[in-house]
Structure 1
Amino acid sequence: MSNLTSHEVIILGGGISGLSTAWFLRQKGISFKLFEKQSETGGVIASEYIEGSVMDFGPNSLRDRNGQIRKIAKDLGISDDLIGISEAFKTRYIVRDGKLQSLSPNISSLISTKVLSASGKIRLLKEPFIEAGSGEDESIGEFLERRIGKEAVDYLADPIFSGIYAGDIYRMSKKSVLPKLAEFEQDYGSVSWGAIRSKKEKREVKPMVLSFKKGIQQLTDAITEKISDHITYDEVLSLKKSDSGFEVATEEATYHSLNVISCIPAYNLGRILEGFEPELSAELMNIDYAPMLSVQLTFNKAEIDFITEGFGFLVPRKERIRLLGAIWKSSIFPELTNKDQHQFTLMIGGAHDRGILTEPKEQVEQEGIREFCRLMQFDARPSVIRSRLWKKAIPQFEVGYEQQKAKLDRFEGGNPGLYFGGNYQWGVSVPDCIQGAEGLAEELAAGL
């Protein structure tokens, strides 16, 4: 039996969700113990310094919408290592007919771009005059086809959501992924009118897109260092109710606490709840996660002719190209790349391409590199190639996900002191997870 008291909060999982939750509890003076089954924290956040360049194998940037990340960095003492993204990030590229076509977030770019045909643009611009739907949940693909037309879905929505969620937009839930747009349609009769109205709301803090001098992992490493005395590297095997709240059994010991916060992936939570609540366990293990192969490349500057302005490019599935997209890392964060190199991140896999789980990694890697070089018109070999396969990278919020979340909420309500967090609850981005963690810490603190 552990010497952990029932008044210490147990946190399951040492990814960004669990670490952030721990950090906010620490800030509020609440005792906790965090369990992580891997030998290090961070989850899918992973950065490495390789031959003079910082390579991020998970998230490559952080969109700090409200200043929260900047505040955490200041509290952790790493704000001097924050890096703002370059102006290049405003220009994105979409592949159309095998060529990169530029697109920027303004009306003039939308009118001039070759991403859409003239008829596709006209259909897109008709959106404010399209009748609103019923309000029932549907797939993102179906929803956006109604609003902006099939061509815009194929060449704008599909690559964008593939880049964020690695998902199938004809399975992903409108209400779970695009709740604001769904509300805009119902409240204003149009997504466009709703977006225009919402832009009038003043922001107290200017949004920024950020990284750190040592990569995104510098954030999780800094939190880990501050709470290291409260981390136990041990795998949780089961969770169930006990006379003193909840019993958490690990490979090494059994612990009891009045409050348990799960920040582990849904499939892992389902496994440890199997003996506690079999039906909910099955639901959690059925939540799909898309795989992703992250390939990091550098090329010698002297060997390639590269246009440096841009965030990177995305590939519509309609193009029949395996590559999901690429980030031009040395363009958006030049500080993170060897001065004699250009650095790129390739994304391969997702819900449409689960073959990456069974095919030899090197084979998939080389196929992606060949496609990348063809699109970029490079006639050179990379000087560095590194990759990492995430077998369960991103949870898929499919139609019906609202009902699954409602079951989780009911289970929480019936088991006071048990909390479910993590990216399948709070959202797939790092800022989403941090915001969710802060909200949960405040809720728990108010109840203690």
Structure 2
Amino acid sequence: MTNVIVIGGGISGLAAAHAIEQQAEKAGLKITTTVLEKEQRLGGKIWSIRDQGFLCEWGPNGFLDNKPMTLELCENIGIGERLLRSSDNARKRFIYSEGRLHRLPESGPAFLRSQLISWPGKFRLAGELFVPRRRSDDDESLADFARRRLGREALDKLIAPMVSGIFAGDPEQMSLQSCFPRICELEREFGGLLKAMIKLARKKRQERKEGKQVAGAAGPGGILTSFAGGIQELTDSLGGAVRGDIRLGIEVTAIRKLADGFRVELADGDSLEAEVVLSCAPAWALKTMAEPLGADIDELLEQIPYSPMNVVCFGYQREKIPLDLNGFGYLIPRNEGCHILGTLWDSSIFTHRAPEGMVLLRSMMGGATFTEAIELSENQVVAAVRADLERIMGIKAEPDFIRVFRHRRAIPMYLLEHRRRVAALEERLTELPGLFVSGNAFYGVGLNDCVHAGNQVADRIVQWLKSRSHG
């Protein structure tokens, strides 16, 4: 019997533990899995909180259904029929610019009519057709890519807000290859983004003819998907599907190499031994655990920073909101001088997020360009968000419901050369056979990315165990 320890009970650790058990069973391997979670609950950043009839997401609010991995996982653990897709109105997304909300255009004619981008900016965007593809394989920042292919105005009003909305990051520092690898592929494959959009739009029209539901062009591919009780239903159900031992409130302090395996030392003075250790902990937490292992692992992990974030949930009586809330919400360019990065209209995206006659708004404050926001008092946070909502949405009323969630380390930032750092980390791990890593610090920050990485690391672990048993 082989012991496998998984450190971290978030979506990454749970998905990996479940995949390891399934793949090991198919391979005829006998293993025992133990999941160690520092907190007294499963889920990590996933936490759906019911309060006064409102459903507030502490962290992510769903996953996109354009990739199969999370959908397949839901079917596998028996919760596929409980999936909840966002409303059709959620495809309407907005950018706040120059004193008003602009709907992101979903077609060529809508783009021409839109006042979000000036006519010189539109001509510069159209000129992307004639920008030569980049020949170098060196990493490029998101900002440099946007300026090169789309122009300064598109960077400021489209790309930078999107980067802050997804990563809470600074586009001047973020890696294009690691944050949006698909965009690199499109440039290489089609020679440019507009050329790719034209060809892919034809494919999307065909899908619509076939009756398939597709996302609006203004948003990311796929439909945002969750559950009636919030995205926590996924991690709760996944925890129930893991057959091994799940131990909550267990903090790992160190990982030490043994002659045949590893010893995992715990904060309570106890320790566990296993032939395989998989860390799905955040990079900053793994850094401390891995210090006894040497091989410069801790130095590489230190180079993956995290952005801070305040998540601010306000509930209002619907009649107090002067704005039509048929949409997903809006993002805000940095040069608008607002405190928040944007606001999601949560009760418009999914049903039953607010009591009858009420609405739920969820605003994000902080990120790499406003790190000091995490140090503000709750009163300061609430006042700043209220000021921005009055300016942008015309809301003068006090909220009837307030919840503020603090994340000092919210989202890992994939800075330039992130892939090189991850490759170097993987190279160091070859010197420590039986030790593996996964999680959103390395292979993608979204739920789909975490599930996919869990499947991949499970395959590597099972293949390593098979080769070990044959040896």
Give the C-alpha shift of residue 174 in structure 1. Answer: 1.5
Asked if 2 retains the 8 angstrom alpha-carbon contact of 1:47 and 1:54, the reply is: yes
Aligned to 1:416: 433
Asked if 1 retains the 8 angstrom alpha-carbon contact of 2:322 and 2:393, the reply is: no
Asked if 2 retains the 8 angstrom alpha-carbon contact of 1:90 and 1:105, the reply is: no
* SS of residue in 2 equivalent to 1:54: strand
> What is the aligned counterpart of 1:22 among 5, 17, 21?
17
Asked whether 1:223 is paired with 2:224, we answer no
Give the C-alpha shift of residue 278 in structure 1. Answer: 6.1
> Cα distance 1:418–1:105, how it changes in 2: closer, same or farther (>3 A)?
farther
**Matching residue's letter, 2:101:** L
2: CA distance between counterparts of 1:33 and 1:430? 22
> What is the aligned counterpart of 1:12 among 7, 18, 24?
7
Q: Give the structure-1-normalised TM-score.
A: 0.93
> Cα distance 1:322–1:270, how it changes in 2: closer, same or farther (>3 A)?
same
- The ranges of structure 1 where at least 4 consecutive aligned residues each deviate by more than 6 angstroms after the TM superposition are 201-206
Give the C-alpha shift of residue 91 in structure 1. Answer: 1.1
2: CA distance between counterparts of 1:38 and 1:278? 29
Residues 166-216 of structure 1: CA deviation (Å, up to 9, x unaligned): 000000012111222223323433123245456659999964321111111
Aligned to 2:191: 189
Asked whether 1:312 is paired with 2:329, we answer yes
Number of residue pairs aligned between Structure 1 and Structure 2: 443
> Cα distance 1:75–1:402, how it changes in 2: closer, same or farther (>3 A)?
closer
- After superposing the two structures, state which structure 1 stretch, 264-273 or 17-26, moved more: 17-26
Give the C-alpha shift of residue 153 in structure 1. Answer: 0.5
| Structure 2 residues not aligned, in runs of 5+ | 26-30, 214-221, 467-471
| Structure 1 residues not aligned, in runs of 5+ | none
Residues 231-282 of structure 1: CA deviation (Å, up to 9, x unaligned): 1221111112111222211124222222111100011111111121262202
> Cα distance 1:180–1:303, how it changes in 2: closer, same or farther (>3 A)?
closer
- After superposing the two structures, state which structure 1 stretch, 316-325 or 44-53, moved more: 44-53
Give the C-alpha shift of residue 162 in structure 1. Answer: 0.5
> What is the aligned counterpart of 2:261 among 233, 236, 245?
245
Give the C-alpha shift of residue 359 in structure 1. Answer: 2.0
2: CA distance between counterparts of 1:63 and 1:437? 17
**Matching residue's letter, 1:113:** S
Asked if 2 retains the 8 angstrom alpha-carbon contact of 1:244 and 1:256, the reply is: no
> Cα distance 1:442–1:332, how it changes in 2: closer, same or farther (>3 A)?
same
Asked if 1 retains the 8 angstrom alpha-carbon contact of 2:33 and 2:244, the reply is: no
Aligned to 2:216: none
**Matching residue's letter, 2:315:** T
Aligned to 1:120: 121
Give the C-alpha shift of residue 335 in structure 1. Answer: 2.7
Asked whether 1:445 is paired with 2:462, we answer yes
User: 1:4-403 counterparts in 2 under 5 A?
Assistant: 7-28=2-23, 29=25, 30-135=31-136, 136-197=138-199, 200=203, 207-227=222-242, 230-233=245-248, 234-252=250-268, 253-277=270-294, 279-403=296-420
Give the C-alpha shift of residue 80 in structure 1. Answer: 3.6
Asked if 2 retains the 8 angstrom alpha-carbon contact of 1:139 and 1:174, the reply is: yes
* SS of residue in 2 equivalent to 1:49: strand
2: CA distance between counterparts of 1:24 and 1:267? 25
Give the C-alpha shift of residue 336 in structure 1. Answer: 2.4
2: CA distance between counterparts of 1:368 and 1:15? 29
2: CA distance between counterparts of 1:217 and 1:121? 42
> Cα distance 1:438–1:336, how it changes in 2: closer, same or farther (>3 A)?
same
Asked if 1 retains the 8 angstrom alpha-carbon contact of 2:295 and 2:428, the reply is: no
Q: Give the structure-2-normalised TM-score.
A: 0.89
> What is the aligned counterpart of 1:431 among 436, 439, 448?
448
* SS of residue in 1 equivalent to 2:178: helix
- After superposing the two structures, state which structure 1 stretch, 409-418 or 65-74, moved more: 65-74
- Identity, in percent, stands at 31
**Matching residue's letter, 1:237:** T
Residues 40-65 of structure 1: CA deviation (Å, up to 9, x unaligned): 11111111112222111211121122
Asked if 1 retains the 8 angstrom alpha-carbon contact of 2:48 and 2:230, the reply is: yes
1: CA distance between counterparts of 2:37 and 2:229? 23
2: CA distance between counterparts of 1:87 and 1:298? 22
- After superposing the two structures, state which structure 1 stretch, 432-441 or 198-207, moved more: 198-207
1: CA distance between counterparts of 2:129 and 2:63? 32
What CA RMSD, in Å, does the superposition of the two structures yield over aligned residues?
2.1
**Matching residue's letter, 1:397:** Y
Residues 142-167 of structure 1: CA deviation (Å, up to 9, x unaligned): 11100000000000001011000000
